[in-house]
Amino acid sequence: MIKYFPAKIEPKWAKKWKDTGLFSPDLDKAKKPFYSLMMFPYPSAEGMHVGNMYAFTGSDVYSRFKRLQGFDVFEPIGLDGFGIHGENYAMKINEHPMEVSKRTEKHFYEQFLMVGNAFDWQRTVDTYKSNYYKWTQWAFLQLYKQGLAYRKKAEVNWCPSCLTVLADEQVISGECERCSSQVGKKELEQWFFKITDYADRLLSNIESLDWSEIVKTAQRNWIGRKDGINIEYELEGLDEKIVCFTTRPDTNFGATFIVIGPEHPLIYKIAQKQYLDAVKKYVSTALAKSDMERIAEGRKKTGVFTGVFAVNRLNGQKLPVWVSDFVLGKVGTGAVVGVPGHDIRDFEFAKEFDLPIVRVVVGKDDDKTPITKAEQVQEEEGLMVNSEFLNGLDIHEATVKIMDYLEEKGWGKRVTSYHLRDWLISRQRYWGPPIPTIYCDKCGIVPVPEEDLPVELPYIKDFKPTGTGVGPLASDSDFVNTTCPKCHGKARRETDVSDNFFDSSLYFFRYLTTDMDDKLFDDTRSKKWLPVDMYIGGAEHSVLHLLYSRFITMAFKDMGFIDFEEPFTKFRAHGLIIKDGAKMSKSKGNVIIPDKYIKDWGADVFRTYLMFMGPFTGGGDFQDDGLNGVYRFLTRIWSLAQNYEEAEATQEEKRILNKTIQKASKDFEKLHYNTVVSGLMELLNFLSRQKTASKETIKSMLIMLSPLAPFITEELWEILERTNIRTNEHWSIHNQPWPQIEEEHLKDEKVTIVIQVDGKLRDNLIIDRELADNQSEIESMAKNSPRVQKCIDSVAIVKVFYVPGKIINFVTDRK
RNA sequence: GCCGGGAUGGUGAAAUGGUAGACACGAUAGGUUUAGGACCUAUUGCUCGAAAGAGUGUGGAGGUUCGAGUCCUCUUCCCGGCACCA
């Protein structure tokens, strides 16, 4: 027997799997299709990170398990190569992104082969190739036709380092998602996708999705639906009205002022002469501040009075109208009604400017006194007071009643507002798909005709962003100058490219039609394979890729291209890998490069170790020591499979094997790969102790191990079965059927009964299974135990609980 | 502040309301081989005890139950999402 030497067997099988197309299902003829997808990676220059590999392995293990269960599994792979990340890197090393991408592509696909994932090598998708981005552009044109892509001048996020605009989702607490620079604001005309049209569907579908809770919650928060009412306030002596959005109209009898944000369009119309200068001054300083600066100033309230009073029509109360920057222009109506007794920010404002405070709710603390301190501000459950016809109602009843009343009077209108904004997809960058539109002086915006796609991204030597608000493509006159498709006059091309996240919001459709040049969707294949059965990826894409993909899928459904609206039936977020208790980062020097580990230990050891660390959805702490244990385990498997004393399976062997199958079946499905490994270890330990094994047991064990360690099991399968690739179409272990559970072997002849006295463990009783139902017999046997007797001889037994085959508990009068 | 997810040995962790710590790592002792990240056996939650054994133990406080890591209430801390969001 040769020693277990991974480097010798792994490359051989990787090549054989690829060359024979073992993992390429027939997309048209497959009988039990199962689309197993993982988030395709961004191909970074350093190559695959251990975090990527952890995710890919976990997804691959699941796919392989499904394949053993008899599914025709489609497990595609590709590269999400377009985007700012790659372009920034190319700039850093002073190379062209087109050159860099060739290198990273090669490296990534080599790594993918090396780790042994069961990819369909015949259907890869790389977003930066024109046979893919043709479809990104096509999708843009479809959205444009539907009015879902539009151009608008707006205040947008601007990253001063990446020199481009960014979508709201790509600004993480004020910082650029890519480079962590402080994001500023710029007024620019840009392309947007109307994702807000889908806000309600995106939100209400969440409930029915079989997705990780963490992602569902993040999406709910991001969409941020709020049900409230827009209340109209007439202004004294003016023919204008101010509309305030509120979710708490129940407290409206407690309103004492109104605050409008500095962005409010009516400011200069309503501000009275003697206050105008102060208002102007305040507004200009406020608008000069970034969001971060506004927040950085803390919660200290500032503001100026406009000189105008609004009227609360509920009680005729006069409400002074103020301007303050704590009211945000883009939230609600940009104006709020101040109820200082029941909103902490309103309270702070009222205190600052000495405005009256009225209590209209009494909460659990039963405090009915006037509200003078911040601790007294009552924002929670309670009963209405000082509110005329609402008095005595709880706040929820009062909310409904006042909304009905305001609507009836015509003073207000129920509205639903969302935190979600439209998706800004223009980027003033080079490394992305050109947005396929043309500007003609006569015809205006003209979409590129579909038959002219793709609009190829030209090679531009100086691809660096300009910072002028115009993309680098503008410098290429051959690209820019074109003719109008409508009037054939002179025209200019759009020079911005689209957001990288747009590429990735449709890649899972393209995997199915890589062999078709003329369409993105094929009805038969869509019906067979979509939506994706299982999607695995990182939770960091919760409100980016995972939200965008849902929106794009809904839009495609509405256009009739597909007949479902949720792209991913099941989604599971994998955990994160940390190293020795800390997050991996280059600066800490604790980044794990899988290549080295795979070279030293083999892909099987590395894969199995990663999956054994803990539950896949939980991530884990990477410790070099752990690899040795897994290496030991595989070595023992290696020698056992080739060097065991063959014998008929014993009863105990059959029982343990069947228990292992049962456990592995359940745990693979739950993504609890760590306990699959431990179950197999227990089986191995048993066989080692027993010193004999049946060939059937060994084979079943190898099949169960094969998703985790595909190479060693394939090699051993070949040795055991002497399969011949030329003559046997089921030569591979990866095509074997999942071992069947034989129920009759799950039960042991002996069972252990735990004996407790007053709930405390006192002894064990090993009995024949047939006796398990005979309670009186068990009882007397249990009482005979000396250790039990010691506990019960001086007390009376009040009650006996017996769970057949498991436990007997004597309850005494000592209790 | 709101919404999610957590907290179990020295470490990674396991436990349909029924023997907490399976399976590993590490450690200790012994054996064996020293050509190999070696292999084999035993021990390993904590406290007391030479041992038998006893007590105790799943962030904390209560509760339900014959029986709680698991269910309920309150609470502390950690991680993630949203946030001057009206």
Judge if the upstream peptide bond of residue A531 is cis by omega within 30 degrees of 0: yes
Whole-complex ipTM: 0.93
A619-671 pLDDT tens trace: 888 888 889 999 999 999 999 998 888 889 988 899 999 999 999 999 999 99
Q: How far apart are CA A776 and CA A134, in angstroms?
A: 78
| Mean pLDDT computed over A96-117 | 93
A521-560 pLDDT tens trace: 999 999 999 999 999 999 889 889 999 999 999 999 999 9
Q: Straight-line distance from CA A586 to C1' B58, in Å?
A: 36
Tell me the pLDDT of chain A averaged across its residues.
Answer: 91
Q: Straight-line distance from CA A718 to C1' B35, in Å?
A: 29
- The nucleotide whose C1' lies nearest the CA of A617 is B5
Q: Straight-line distance from CA A143 to C1' B44, in Å?
A: 65
Q: Report whether pLDDT(A72) > 90.
A: yes
Q: Straight-line distance from CA A2 to C1' B1, in Å?
A: 65
- Residue lying closest to nucleotide B67, CA to C1': A759
Which residues have C-beta within 8 Å of that of residue A410, sequence separation ≥ 6? none
| Mean pLDDT computed over A297-313 | 88
| Mean pLDDT computed over A7-27 | 94
A725-740 pLDDT tens trace: 667 778 999 999 999 9
Q: Report whether pLDDT(A581) > 90.
A: no
The model's pTM is 0.93
A747-756 pLDDT tens trace: 877 888 889 8
- The nucleotide whose C1' lies nearest the CA of A798 is B66
Q: How far apart are CA A329 and CA A353, in angstroms?
A: 22
Predicted confidence band at A684 (pLDDT cuts at 50, 70, 90)?
very high
Q: Report whether pLDDT(A33) > 70.
A: yes
Nucleotides in B strand less than 7 A from protein CB:
2-5, 11-16, 18-20, 22-26, 36-41, 54-55, 66-68, 80-86
For every residue of A192-231, DSSP letters joined together read EE-GGGGHHHHHHTGGG-EE-HHHHHHHHHHH--EEEEEE
- The nucleotide whose C1' lies nearest the CA of A542 is B81
- Residue lying closest to nucleotide B53, CA to C1': A787
Q: How far apart are CA A130 and CA A82, in angstroms?
A: 11
Q: Report whether pLDDT(A585) > 80.
A: no
Which residues have C-beta within 8 Å of that of residue A213, sequence separation ≥ 6? none
| Mean pLDDT computed over A130-143 | 98
Predicted confidence band at A292 (pLDDT cuts at 50, 70, 90)?
low
| Mean pLDDT computed over A38-48 | 88
Judge if the upstream peptide bond of residue A454 is cis by omega within 30 degrees of 0: yes
Q: Straight-line distance from CA A365 to C1' B76, in Å?
A: 23
Q: Report whether pLDDT(A380) > 80.
A: yes
- Collapsing DSSP to helix, strand or coil, A592 comes out as coil
Closest alpha carbon to A81 in A94, A95, A97, A96:
A97
Q: Straight-line distance from CA A205 to C1' B4, in Å?
A: 18
Predicted confidence band at A392 (pLDDT cuts at 50, 70, 90)?
very high
Q: How far apart are CA A597 and CA A602, in angstroms?
A: 7
Query: What local confidence, expressed as pLDDT, does residue A776 receive?
Result: 87
